[in-house]
C-alpha cells in the first residue's frame, strides 16, 4: 500500500511539473487561436482569451451578445483571417511582434429607410 501512495505522489508531482513549466503561447499563436474562434463564431471562447483588464470593462454575456447581433445584422456569410506573406512585411523586429493579417468578410448590409 505504501508503494501505491509513493507512485501516485510521483505521478502527481510530474503532472504538476509538466503543466506549470509549459510556455505561454506566443502572440502569433494566440492570434491564430483567437481568429480561429472568430471564424467559427465561438464568441465565448474569444472572450475567454481577453486580458483580465479588458474583461473588467465588458462582461462575457455582453461581449457574446454584441458579436451575435453584429453577425445577425450584417448577415456574415464568410470570415477569413490570414497572415500577410513574410516577403510583404517590411520588417518584423522580434518574436513578440505580430505581423499584419488580411481580414476578409462576406456580408449583406441592409439599409433601412
Domain extent, residue 44, equals: 25-106
Residue 49 lies in a domain: yes
Quick one: cell of 94?
A: 522580434
- The answer to whether position 83 is within a domain reads yes
- Domains of the chain: total: 1
DSSP assignment of 56-108, as one string? HHS-HHHHHHHHHHHHHHHT--EEEEEEPPGGGSS---STTPPPPEEEEEE--
Q: Is residue 12 part of a domain?
A: no
Per-residue pLDDT of the chain (113 residues), as tens digits, is 556 666 566 666 656 655 555 567 777 788 889 889 988 999 999 999 999 999 999 999 999 999 998 888 888 888 888 877 766 555 555 555 666 788 888 888 766 55
Amino acid at each position: 500500500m505504501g508503494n501505491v501512495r509513493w507512485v501516485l505522489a510521483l505521478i502527481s508531482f510530474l503532472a504538476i511539473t509538466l503543466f506549470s513549466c509549459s510556455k505561454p503561447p506566443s502572440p502569433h499563436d494566440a492570434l491564430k487561436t483567437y481568429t480561429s474562434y472568430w471564424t467559427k463564431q465561438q464568441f465565448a471562447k474569444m472572450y475567454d482569451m481577453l486580458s483580465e483588464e479588458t474583461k473588467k470593462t465588458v462582461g462575457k454575456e455582453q461581449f457574446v451578445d454584441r458579436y451575435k447581433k453584429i453577425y445577425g445584422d450584417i448577415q456574415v456569410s464568410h470570415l477569413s483571417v490570414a497572415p500577410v506573406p513574410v516577403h510583404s512585411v517590411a520588417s518584423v523586429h522580434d518574436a513578440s511582434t505580430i505581423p499584419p493579417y488580411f481580414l476578409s468578410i462576406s456580408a449583406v448590409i441592409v439599409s433601412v429607410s
